[in-house]
Structure 1
């Protein structure tokens, strides 16, 4: 089982939650390292070099954001935040610091495991282009810029393809508005969230069976968007 090779570093100061995470991850086939402080988290990350870091932000010594920044200084390992902080600004701060995804407490076990799997897949893909994408009944060739659905060809604009590419590289995880705008429009348009919202609306009209209740292109309010594929 390939998944059994993956090692997860859990940084959580509440013993009960740490025990739940330990059981959940081990049952799913992961090896688990645990610690409860930021200082030990950095030491364990450097010595064990885990495949993924699962970290709370409210740690007893220093804020988990500092751990994320420290690890990002030397490692591209996937980082998933598990926190009771729900404010949009707090989520954005964690993602801007280098986290790949953000899960709020209380959490759903299946959802958390899905986020862990998605983050590990992102790490395997790295910065590689995603040549092909299946979103529901629509098959999209990102290399050739072609898409086909049940009724024939589906037209996407060059801008829509760029947004899809950015989302596809991190399928299953949050991609911030800032990152999407930077990659699709360029760094000179970082404040143009309206154009991004219009683009997402147009993509949903083409991809979603019911655009008013999206299944694949999900909004993370105030933070960004997530492309959720059947395999995620």
Structure 2
């Protein structure tokens, strides 16, 4: 079983029997993490709403803490605990990495940084970061065609893969196109549980998603988020 805690925006904590995975934390309260579990901290890119340097304080935990982040992220001189090379993984798009039994694959974002596909103990987790189908009505058509092409190219690399938990943007600023990225992702993968994210606190977006004709095929696999700190125990 996996336990997922929604922190805020695109931030989530995923807990398994012997490990925890923290994704794109910048806001909200991080739950107490079991001291007996190793921790993997992921940063998709350096935008303020995906990264907060306070995550490095977690390196002071007694149990091993691993940091996985794009190489352009500048690591602060603090905390006092120095990060050893074997616990710091600097990523680039299209890379494959491994740490303490955790296998990590990166996809190229359509904005900045990377998306993560994480495999651990037979479970797969996908966190998109800002990899999304960014179709902006105010942009010229060549830009939007490029966005569509780049997004579909990256998601096609997952090749109908079975994923246990996925975190995918549904940004309301995109207008009617807010769910295009989610829809394409769900049709190209076999995802058991998808958490729409990056919705800027507009929780009513879940009502919109439930009313979209395109989501009917996978609606029962969409997880409705109602508040920061909400906990989900995934059975499937």
The bucket for the TM-score relative to the shorter chain is 0.3 to 0.5
The structure having more radius of gyration, on CA atoms, is 1
Which of 1 and 2 has higher RCO (CA within 8 Å, sep 6+)?
Answer: 2
Q: Structure 1-normalised TM-score?
A: 0.32
Q: Structure 2-normalised TM-score?
A: 0.32
